[in-house]
Amino acid sequence: MTKPFDNKTALVTGASRGIGAAIAEALAANGAHVILVARDAAALEQVEERIHAAGGSATIAPMDLLENGNIGKLGQAIASRWEALDILVLNAATLGTLTSVQAIDGNEFVRVMSLNLLANQAMIAAFHAMLVKAERAEVVGVTSSVGANPRAYWGAYGASKAAFDTLLKAYADENENPGRIRVHLLDPGATRTTMRVRAFPGEDPAEVKPPEVVAEALVERLQSDAPTGQTVRVD
Protein backbone atom coordinates (compact mmCIF):
# COMPACT_ATOMS: atom_id res chain seq x y z
CA MET A 1 0.00 0.00 0.00
CA THR A 2 1.57 3.28 -1.10
CA LYS A 3 1.86 6.30 1.16
CA PRO A 4 1.94 10.01 0.20
CA PHE A 5 5.60 10.51 1.04
CA ASP A 6 7.08 7.19 -0.02
CA ASN A 7 10.68 7.59 -1.22
CA LYS A 8 10.78 11.14 0.16
CA THR A 9 13.43 12.46 2.54
CA ALA A 10 12.46 15.00 5.19
CA LEU A 11 14.44 16.94 7.76
CA VAL A 12 12.82 18.41 10.87
CA THR A 13 14.59 20.72 13.33
CA GLY A 14 13.47 20.89 16.94
CA ALA A 15 12.29 17.31 16.48
CA SER A 16 12.87 16.05 20.02
CA ARG A 17 9.48 17.09 21.42
CA GLY A 18 6.27 19.03 20.87
CA ILE A 19 5.30 20.17 17.40
CA GLY A 20 8.61 19.11 15.84
CA ALA A 21 8.33 15.54 17.14
CA ALA A 22 4.69 15.30 16.09
CA ILE A 23 5.49 16.52 12.57
CA ALA A 24 8.40 14.10 12.29
CA GLU A 25 6.23 11.17 13.36
CA ALA A 26 3.41 12.17 11.00
CA LEU A 27 5.76 12.47 8.02
CA ALA A 28 7.30 9.09 8.83
CA ALA A 29 3.84 7.53 9.20
CA ASN A 30 3.11 8.75 5.70
CA GLY A 31 6.19 7.16 4.19
CA ALA A 32 9.00 9.71 4.49
CA HIS A 33 12.43 8.91 5.85
CA VAL A 34 12.84 11.62 8.48
CA ILE A 35 16.10 13.13 9.71
CA LEU A 36 15.55 14.29 13.28
CA VAL A 37 17.58 17.29 14.43
CA ALA A 38 17.72 18.70 17.98
CA ARG A 39 20.15 19.15 20.85
CA ASP A 40 18.76 16.42 23.13
CA ALA A 41 20.08 13.09 21.85
CA ALA A 42 18.13 11.00 24.36
CA ALA A 43 14.85 12.67 23.43
CA LEU A 44 15.61 12.23 19.73
CA GLU A 45 16.20 8.53 20.30
CA GLN A 46 12.75 8.26 21.90
CA VAL A 47 11.13 9.89 18.85
CA GLU A 48 13.13 7.60 16.57
CA GLU A 49 12.02 4.56 18.54
CA ARG A 50 8.36 5.57 18.25
CA ILE A 51 8.77 6.04 14.49
CA HIS A 52 10.41 2.64 14.08
CA ALA A 53 7.80 0.95 16.30
CA ALA A 54 5.11 2.37 14.01
CA GLY A 55 6.86 0.94 10.95
CA GLY A 56 8.52 4.17 9.84
CA SER A 57 12.10 5.17 9.08
CA ALA A 58 14.25 7.85 10.72
CA THR A 59 17.80 8.98 11.38
CA ILE A 60 18.81 11.14 14.32
CA ALA A 61 21.29 14.03 14.10
CA PRO A 62 21.84 15.45 17.60
CA MET A 63 23.36 18.93 17.32
CA ASP A 64 23.14 22.53 18.45
CA LEU A 65 22.22 24.69 15.46
CA LEU A 66 24.00 27.65 17.04
CA GLU A 67 27.36 25.94 17.45
CA ASN A 68 29.78 27.34 14.90
CA GLY A 69 29.98 25.25 11.74
CA ASN A 70 27.36 22.67 12.74
CA ILE A 71 24.80 23.54 10.08
CA GLY A 72 27.40 23.36 7.30
CA LYS A 73 28.62 19.99 8.58
CA LEU A 74 25.05 18.72 8.74
CA GLY A 75 24.44 19.79 5.15
CA GLN A 76 27.59 18.04 3.96
CA ALA A 77 26.79 14.85 5.85
CA ILE A 78 23.26 14.63 4.49
CA ALA A 79 24.31 15.49 0.92
CA SER A 80 26.84 12.66 1.07
CA ARG A 81 24.06 10.15 1.82
CA TRP A 82 21.02 11.47 -0.03
CA GLU A 83 20.87 13.14 -3.42
CA ALA A 84 17.84 15.34 -2.75
CA LEU A 85 15.87 16.73 0.18
CA ASP A 86 12.11 16.72 -0.39
CA ILE A 87 10.83 18.32 2.83
CA LEU A 88 12.59 20.79 5.14
CA VAL A 89 10.74 21.75 8.33
CA LEU A 90 12.26 24.73 10.15
CA ASN A 91 10.74 24.32 13.60
CA ALA A 92 13.53 24.91 16.13
CA ALA A 93 13.01 28.13 18.08
CA THR A 94 13.43 29.69 21.50
CA LEU A 95 10.92 31.89 23.32
CA GLY A 96 13.25 34.00 25.42
CA THR A 97 11.95 36.05 28.33
CA LEU A 98 8.60 37.76 27.90
CA THR A 99 9.30 41.32 28.97
CA SER A 100 8.89 44.95 27.95
CA VAL A 101 10.99 46.17 25.04
CA GLN A 102 13.15 48.42 27.22
CA ALA A 103 13.91 45.50 29.55
CA ILE A 104 15.01 42.99 26.88
CA ASP A 105 18.38 41.52 27.78
CA GLY A 106 20.78 42.12 24.90
CA ASN A 107 22.56 38.79 25.14
CA GLU A 108 19.30 36.86 25.27
CA PHE A 109 17.93 38.87 22.34
CA VAL A 110 20.97 37.89 20.28
CA ARG A 111 20.30 34.23 21.06
CA VAL A 112 16.60 34.52 20.14
CA MET A 113 17.41 36.16 16.81
CA SER A 114 20.29 33.76 16.17
CA LEU A 115 18.17 30.62 16.54
CA ASN A 116 14.81 31.87 15.28
CA LEU A 117 16.19 33.77 12.26
CA LEU A 118 19.89 33.40 11.45
CA ALA A 119 20.06 29.63 11.93
CA ASN A 120 17.05 29.19 9.66
CA GLN A 121 18.68 31.23 6.91
CA ALA A 122 21.80 29.10 7.33
CA MET A 123 19.68 25.95 7.04
CA ILE A 124 18.15 27.17 3.78
CA ALA A 125 21.61 28.05 2.46
CA ALA A 126 22.96 24.64 3.44
CA PHE A 127 20.13 22.66 1.85
CA HIS A 128 19.00 24.78 -1.11
CA ALA A 129 21.01 22.73 -3.60
CA MET A 130 19.41 19.50 -2.32
CA LEU A 131 15.93 21.04 -2.37
CA VAL A 132 16.36 22.05 -6.01
CA LYS A 133 17.19 18.43 -6.89
CA ALA A 134 13.84 17.20 -5.55
CA GLU A 135 10.97 16.72 -7.98
CA ARG A 136 9.05 19.19 -5.82
CA ALA A 137 10.47 20.32 -2.52
CA GLU A 138 8.50 21.65 0.44
CA VAL A 139 9.96 24.15 2.92
CA VAL A 140 7.93 24.67 6.09
CA GLY A 141 8.60 27.44 8.59
CA VAL A 142 6.83 27.14 11.94
CA THR A 143 5.90 30.69 12.85
CA SER A 144 3.66 32.58 15.28
CA SER A 145 0.86 35.10 15.04
CA VAL A 146 2.87 37.55 17.16
CA GLY A 147 5.14 38.10 14.18
CA ALA A 148 2.31 39.67 12.20
CA ASN A 149 0.33 40.98 15.18
CA PRO A 150 2.66 42.48 17.82
CA ARG A 151 1.71 41.91 21.45
CA ALA A 152 2.91 43.57 24.64
CA TYR A 153 5.89 41.81 26.24
CA TRP A 154 6.40 39.59 23.20
CA GLY A 155 8.67 42.07 21.42
CA ALA A 156 11.82 39.94 21.17
CA TYR A 157 10.13 36.72 20.08
CA GLY A 158 7.67 38.56 17.85
CA ALA A 159 10.45 40.49 16.13
CA SER A 160 12.30 37.25 15.40
CA LYS A 161 9.19 35.70 13.88
CA ALA A 162 8.35 38.80 11.83
CA ALA A 163 11.83 38.70 10.33
CA PHE A 164 11.55 34.92 9.82
CA ASP A 165 8.26 35.38 7.95
CA THR A 166 9.81 38.02 5.69
CA LEU A 167 12.78 35.77 4.98
CA LEU A 168 10.60 32.80 4.02
CA LYS A 169 8.22 34.85 1.89
CA ALA A 170 11.18 36.30 0.00
CA TYR A 171 12.52 32.77 -0.53
CA ALA A 172 9.10 31.69 -1.78
CA ASP A 173 9.02 34.58 -4.26
CA GLU A 174 12.54 33.84 -5.47
CA ASN A 175 11.66 30.22 -6.24
CA GLU A 176 8.09 30.60 -7.49
CA ASN A 177 8.89 30.74 -11.22
CA PRO A 178 11.18 27.68 -11.30
CA GLY A 179 8.38 25.90 -9.43
CA ARG A 180 10.67 23.39 -7.76
CA ILE A 181 10.36 24.68 -4.18
CA ARG A 182 7.12 25.49 -2.38
CA VAL A 183 7.17 27.41 0.91
CA HIS A 184 4.61 27.21 3.73
CA LEU A 185 4.46 29.34 6.88
CA LEU A 186 2.78 27.21 9.53
CA ASP A 187 1.16 29.09 12.43
CA PRO A 188 0.15 26.36 14.89
CA GLY A 189 -1.98 28.61 17.10
CA ALA A 190 -2.53 27.56 20.71
CA THR A 191 -0.90 24.15 21.06
CA ARG A 192 0.04 21.97 24.01
CA THR A 193 3.83 22.45 24.13
CA THR A 194 6.53 23.21 26.68
CA MET A 195 6.91 26.68 25.17
CA ARG A 196 3.19 27.30 25.60
CA VAL A 197 3.39 26.32 29.28
CA ARG A 198 6.22 28.81 29.78
CA ALA A 199 4.30 31.57 28.04
CA PHE A 200 0.95 30.86 29.74
CA PRO A 201 1.74 29.20 33.10
CA GLY A 202 -1.81 29.55 34.42
CA GLU A 203 -3.43 27.86 31.44
CA ASP A 204 -4.82 24.33 31.64
CA PRO A 205 -2.89 22.36 28.96
CA ALA A 206 -5.94 20.16 28.43
CA GLU A 207 -7.78 23.17 27.04
CA VAL A 208 -5.48 23.53 24.02
CA LYS A 209 -5.01 21.12 21.13
CA PRO A 210 -2.18 18.56 21.09
CA PRO A 211 0.73 18.88 18.61
CA GLU A 212 -0.59 15.95 16.60
CA VAL A 213 -3.42 18.16 15.30
CA VAL A 214 -0.86 20.59 13.85
CA ALA A 215 1.10 17.72 12.31
CA GLU A 216 -2.01 16.28 10.67
CA ALA A 217 -2.88 19.70 9.23
CA LEU A 218 0.61 20.02 7.77
CA VAL A 219 0.51 16.57 6.17
CA GLU A 220 -2.78 17.54 4.53
CA ARG A 221 -1.31 20.86 3.38
CA LEU A 222 1.70 19.22 1.78
CA GLN A 223 -0.57 16.96 -0.26
CA SER A 224 -2.63 19.90 -1.54
CA ASP A 225 -2.09 22.27 -4.45
CA ALA A 226 -1.85 25.29 -2.15
CA PRO A 227 0.26 28.14 -3.55
CA THR A 228 3.70 28.99 -2.21
CA GLY A 229 4.44 31.68 0.35
CA GLN A 230 1.17 31.51 2.27
CA THR A 231 0.64 31.41 6.03
CA VAL A 232 -1.67 28.65 7.23
CA ARG A 233 -3.03 28.82 10.76
CA VAL A 234 -4.19 25.73 12.63
CA ASP A 235 -6.98 26.58 15.08
- Nearest CA to 182 among 118, 213, 139? 139
Q: How far apart are the C-alpha atoms of 114 and 52, rounded to whole Å?
A: 33
Q: How many residues does the chain have?
A: 235
Catalytic-labelled residue, pool 157, 159, 191, 217: 157
Kindly write down the DSSP assignment for every residue of 189-218, as one continuous string.
-SB-SHHHHHH-TTS-GGGSB-HHHHHHHH
CA separation for the pair 66, 46 (Å, rounded): 23
The question of whether 171 is a catalytic residue gets the answer: no
Cα 219 off chain centre by: 13
Pairing of the two strands 137-142 and 87-90: parallel
Residue 19 and residue 27: Cα distance in Å, rounded? 12
Q: How crowded is the C-beta side of 223, counted as CA atoms within 13 Å?
A: 15
Q: Quick check: 99 and 21 in contact, CB under 8 A? A: no
Active centre residues (catalytic): 157
